[in-house]
Structure 1
Amino acid sequence: MITRNPSSTVSRFLEGHLRRDAQARELSVARFMSILSGICVVVAAALGPSMGWDLTLALMGLSVVLAGYYAVMWAVLRKGVFHPAIPWLNVAIEVSIPAVVLTFDLRYQGPVYALTAPTIVIWGALVTLAGLRSNPRLGLAAGALVAAEYLTLYFGFVRPLLPENPLITLAPLFICVRAFFFVATGALTAVLARHFLERTRSALASLREQEVMGKYVLHERLGAGGMAEVYRATYSPEGGFEKQVALKRILPSFADDAAFVTMFRREAELCSTLNHPNIVQVFDLGRHGGTYFLAMEYVDGLPLSGVLKPQVRKPLPLSAATFLAAELASALDYVHRKTSPDGELLRLVHRDVNPPNVLISRIGEVKLSDFGIARDAARANLTVAGSVRGKLGYMAPEQAMGRDFDGRADLFALGLTLHEALTGRRALSGHSEELLLRAAVDQEVVPPSQLNPAVPVALDAIVMSLLQKDPQRRTPNGAALRQQLLALEGPAAPFPHGQAELGRVAREAKALATALTQEDSESFAAVKAPAVRSA
């Protein structure tokens, strides 16, 4: 058996994180340098009378070129374009700036001024900046390049112009010592950078030993609700096998809530028996650090609610919406027909079908998630006396009123979800929880074609059949709904283009969310990822 070294996993994780963060670091450096170069133009102009206008104009020209370069670099990086060679290029340019200034000083002010000008001081600071890019080799390379440039300029251009008896500090021996200090600065910066990286690896290794959920290495948090949170995680058993999963765990403050823990465990037990391509799979249930967790299938995408953003109010393409509904119909039909090992019908009802619980992958896969309140129909109406479980605004009338209901309540919720996908806005609305609870009973839902003229009559009829308030008149089951959707023709047909269209919309929404995240990160804000419903 091959035993995987945990420290190698930590190192790979840290190196991957630093590579992903390199773009953000270079973006910050480019923005700072573009602003600084612009300020240098003004400073050089102010010093013109004392330095001489020839040198001033040369320095102003250099500052303008640098400001333009870094402005372009900032714009390119901001669009997401990045190459590993960019930090090396930027470091080479940055540490060469004093060499160019020294050349200007030599040309316009003479050799003594060139070797004693204040700008020489920033060479060491630029070497240090190179090492702070979390790559020790950049610090070493910067120190060596500065020393080479300094010695080349001195022995090739400055020394022949010096007087016969120059200042002792301008003699070759002192110049070589100064070059050595540049190399030493780079080496010291590299040592410190390597030290910080090692300490970070040590901290991550300690975290792996103490805070990971057993064999699950936690990464970024995807979302959080009132009682639980979801992380992207890597399942890392022995032998080098790794798998991306979504890890949902109860917040420590609710780990002692017996009712919630029972519901949490029920979700794991129920989902472990469900095996359908349109249902999020549950792989594991465990306890770690005083709290419970679920390891679930990781869907690389976002929830339907992330696609149907309220501020956008943009409907899905017809084929994408009907494909979405057909896949959910298949999942619900499977759930409603699920039997026990001895063949007895379980009469399961999801009870919480709504956009946040429908996950869309980047390639258009549809996954129904969050079975935390799914129950058999005989006990599904009331979980606690006087309380109705489900998402307000997506309940069937019989569910909202606390009456007995069956799988047709899930079909009503699917009808509301499909209506929203076709129109870009919620079908039921209310300004309070009480109004939302009664909306399913009191409000009349208009056909989606009244809000989106592109919806054909046949699709209108399918949606309105799902939204019949009387369960007896409603579409009877998911299989019948899927057949109705598959019979659609023209732009509303779910196949063959529905999945591709849905994937395209999901990718665009995710790209927009990523762009907003990058902009918000500049003001320390975070974009909201798939939310975990508060139980």
Structure 2
Amino acid sequence: MTTTHPTAVSRFLKSHLRRDSQARETSVAGYMAGLAAACLVAVGALGPYIGWGLTRALLGLVALLCVYYTVLWRALGAGWFHPIIHWLNVAIEVSIPSVVLAFDLRFQGPIYALTAPTLVIWGTLVVLAALRTQPMLALMAGGLAAGEYLLLYFFFVRPLLPEEPLLTLTPPFIIMRAVFLLSSGVATAILARHFVRKTGQALAALREQEVMGKYLLHERIGTGGMAEVYRATYCPEGGFEKQVALKRILPHFADDAGFVTLFRREAELCSTLHHPNIVQVFDLGRHANSYFLAMEYVDGLPLSTLLRVMGGRRLPLSAVTFLGAELASALDYLHRRTNRTGEPLHLVHRDLNPPNVLLSRLGEVKLSDFGIARDAARAQLTVVGTVRGKLGYMAPEQVRAEPMDGRADLFALGLTLHEAITGQRLLVGEGEAALMFAVMEQELKPPSHFRPGVSPALDAVVMRLLERNLGRRTPHSGELRQQLLQLTGEEAPYPQGQAALSLAMQEALLQLHRGSEALSPAQPSTEIDQRFQAHPG
């Protein structure tokens, strides 16, 4: 069983601890306010023994602390918080014994100041920094305590000591005490780090053991605005196991009736699609008020990630034409689907783009994410005049929210192939308005303009897909596939295209693996998080 990706757990845990910072600081403020109130009574009771001069000084300090922490406790409880309050409070807490030592020195002399029982609390206040779960705060607390102790001793206390003081009051023993204070800070930092690490491991173990019905969840491999995808094991009774991709609605969308309808619609539609180039859906279920889809698991990368990892390098042309031929086959199957009586369903994917094209390690091509696919019989699910899909890959008629057919998918495929050939998006713009203008008006230059060496034949195939005039656009996916099969030389999709695509995949996965090893927990890789599955929509 593969463990949950450590960077994902680390990010989740750090995010949770940040959200909980206010609650923890509120607890500390309440504790300190109560402790200060109790000290008011204790100091007052000790007045006859320690002298009223020292008593009044200590009562003033404790009263000030009581007021500060009470006001802070109320403010934090009312919702106010700033991260700097951690550092400020640790500095105040650790400095309290220094102020007490200064009062003792003023009213009772140096020997009492260095032997007063109040110094025992110094180490406790250093350990209190561990509640903030930040190792650096604990180190600061230990260092500040040791520094203040040594500063007070050498500059204020030692000049007032007798020429031959008690052995325990000589510099070597004072330095040893300072080292103990510093070591308490180090020990507290280790404790905080150990707590965070062990909590992260516990979360990872819990995530691995989370079972949704018959599905055992592993690491999260993709996330989108409304759903997330996990690698999971289908494990019914009898010992049978199968790797699947489990797509789950995010909790805050689970009660959205409209989105749940679309989600169920995706499951219903995809369960009827059986094609080697379409991600198959096995199951729709509900667990703990969350809907999920169990889908075919593709061990590889989305096309978008592959292109991003390759950077300035470009895919072999045979790999791109193979990709196009396989997707054309998937679209041809989709567009020609009929119902049980043989009537055409007029299915349109409507969201074909690189994140929704999955590539396996072996160079297999799978079309995924049919969340907004539609057919004529279900047209009522779409509000008239709305635009759904990824704007940078829409056909002009889709942008205008006009009736559309399979040629809208072919326009999106043309943009995807153009990007796969050139390594860069064809339609770009800042904001929706600019992208819509690009779709409708931008001059569309052929792939050879960006990548010399692309043949006129391949240029023609791609540019015909990008015709804004429906009458001149490639009419159907079957014709597109035939055009791609007629290409020759290094642009021929078969027989070398799949091998070339597989080689590019292996190199990209190796590069991602090396990159993940070099990343620190504070620098997670979104590439690695998404390396096995498509954008979940």
**TM-score, normalization: structure 1?**
0.60
State the partner residue of 1:521.
520
AA aligned opposite 2:418: H
Distance across 1 between alignment mates of 2:460 and 2:430: 29
The question of whether the paired residues in 2 share the 8 Å contact of 1:381 and 1:405 is answered with no
The question of whether the paired residues in 2 share the 8 Å contact of 1:382 and 1:389 is answered with no
Distance across 1 between alignment mates of 2:310 and 2:206: 42
State the partner residue of 2:327.
328
Q: Helix, strand or coil for the counterpart of 1:339?
A: coil
Distance across 2 between alignment mates of 1:202 and 1:379: 42
The question of whether the paired residues in 2 share the 8 Å contact of 1:374 and 1:380 is answered with no
Seen in structure 2, the aligned counterparts of structure 1 residues 378 and 444 have a Cα distance that, compared at 3 Å, is farther
State the partner residue of 2:290.
291
Distance across 2 between alignment mates of 1:436 and 1:381: 27
Q: Helix, strand or coil for the counterpart of 1:416?
A: helix
- Per-residue deviation, 1:418: 0.4
Q: Helix, strand or coil for the counterpart of 2:413?
A: helix
Q: Helix, strand or coil for the counterpart of 2:260?
A: helix
- Per-residue deviation, 1:518: 1.7
Distance across 1 between alignment mates of 2:512 and 2:339: 42
Distance across 2 between alignment mates of 1:264 and 1:363: 30
AA aligned opposite 1:482: R
CA deviation map 1:190-213 (0-9, x unaligned) = xxxxxxx9xx999958974xx311
The question of whether the paired residues in 2 share the 8 Å contact of 1:382 and 1:388 is answered with no
Q: Helix, strand or coil for the counterpart of 1:472?
A: coil
- Per-residue deviation, 1:523: 3.6
CA deviation map 1:466-524 (0-9, x unaligned) = 01101111111111000000010000000110001011111111221222222123545
Seen in structure 2, the aligned counterparts of structure 1 residues 472 and 399 have a Cα distance that, compared at 3 Å, is same
Which is worse superposed, 520-529 or 333-342?
520-529
State the partner residue of 2:269.
270
State the partner residue of 1:255.
254
State the partner residue of 1:405.
404
Aligned: 1:216 with 2:215: yes
- Per-residue deviation, 1:532: 6.1
Q: Helix, strand or coil for the counterpart of 1:417?
A: helix
Distance across 2 between alignment mates of 1:495 and 1:203: 44
State the partner residue of 2:460.
461
Q: Helix, strand or coil for the counterpart of 1:283?
A: strand
The question of whether the paired residues in 2 share the 8 Å contact of 1:228 and 1:532 is answered with no
State the partner residue of 1:363.
362
**TM-score, normalization: structure 2?**
0.60
Seen in structure 2, the aligned counterparts of structure 1 residues 214 and 494 have a Cα distance that, compared at 3 Å, is same
Seen in structure 2, the aligned counterparts of structure 1 residues 230 and 313 have a Cα distance that, compared at 3 Å, is same
The question of whether the paired residues in 2 share the 8 Å contact of 1:381 and 1:403 is answered with no
- Per-residue deviation, 1:310: 8.0
The question of whether the paired residues in 2 share the 8 Å contact of 1:381 and 1:402 is answered with no
Structure 2, unaligned stretches of length 5 or more? 7-197
Higher relative contact order by CA 8 Å / sep ≥ 6: 1 or 2?
2
The question of whether the paired residues in 1 share the 8 Å contact of 2:329 and 2:481 is answered with yes
Seen in structure 2, the aligned counterparts of structure 1 residues 203 and 493 have a Cα distance that, compared at 3 Å, is closer
The question of whether the paired residues in 1 share the 8 Å contact of 2:267 and 2:284 is answered with yes
Seen in structure 2, the aligned counterparts of structure 1 residues 523 and 403 have a Cα distance that, compared at 3 Å, is same
Distance across 2 between alignment mates of 1:274 and 1:295: 14
State the partner residue of 2:371.
372
State the partner residue of 2:123.
none
State the partner residue of 1:226.
225
CA deviation map 1:36-85 (0-9, x unaligned) = xxxxxxxxxxxxxxxxxxxxxxxxxxxxxxxxxxxxxxxxxxxxxxxxxx
Distance across 2 between alignment mates of 1:508 and 1:417: 21
Map of 1:118-129 to 2, 5 A cutoff?
A: none
State the partner residue of 1:338.
337
State the partner residue of 1:86.
none
The question of whether the paired residues in 2 share the 8 Å contact of 1:320 and 1:498 is answered with yes
Bigger Cα Rg: 2
- Per-residue deviation, 1:341: 1.1
The question of whether the paired residues in 2 share the 8 Å contact of 1:247 and 1:293 is answered with yes
AA aligned opposite 2:525: A
Seen in structure 2, the aligned counterparts of structure 1 residues 267 and 502 have a Cα distance that, compared at 3 Å, is same
State the Cα RMSD in Å.
Answer: 2.6
Distance across 2 between alignment mates of 1:380 and 1:504: 42
- Per-residue deviation, 1:275: 0.3
- Per-residue deviation, 1:381: 10
The question of whether the paired residues in 1 share the 8 Å contact of 2:217 and 2:231 is answered with yes
AA aligned opposite 1:499: Q
Seen in structure 2, the aligned counterparts of structure 1 residues 405 and 218 have a Cα distance that, compared at 3 Å, is same
Distance across 1 between alignment mates of 2:238 and 2:249: 29
The question of whether the paired residues in 2 share the 8 Å contact of 1:485 and 1:494 is answered with yes
CA deviation map 1:9-55 (0-9, x unaligned) = xxxx3xx649x99xxxxxxxxxxxxxxxxxxxxxxxxxxxxxxxxxx
- Per-residue deviation, 1:274: 0.2
Aligned: 1:497 with 2:493: no
The question of whether the paired residues in 1 share the 8 Å contact of 2:302 and 2:355 is answered with yes
State the partner residue of 1:71.
none
State the partner residue of 1:348.
347
AA aligned opposite 1:261: V
State the partner residue of 1:472.
471
The question of whether the paired residues in 2 share the 8 Å contact of 1:234 and 1:245 is answered with yes
The question of whether the paired residues in 1 share the 8 Å contact of 2:207 and 2:218 is answered with no
Distance across 2 between alignment mates of 1:273 and 1:418: 27
Q: Helix, strand or coil for the counterpart of 2:452?
A: coil
State the partner residue of 2:318.
319
Seen in structure 2, the aligned counterparts of structure 1 residues 207 and 231 have a Cα distance that, compared at 3 Å, is closer
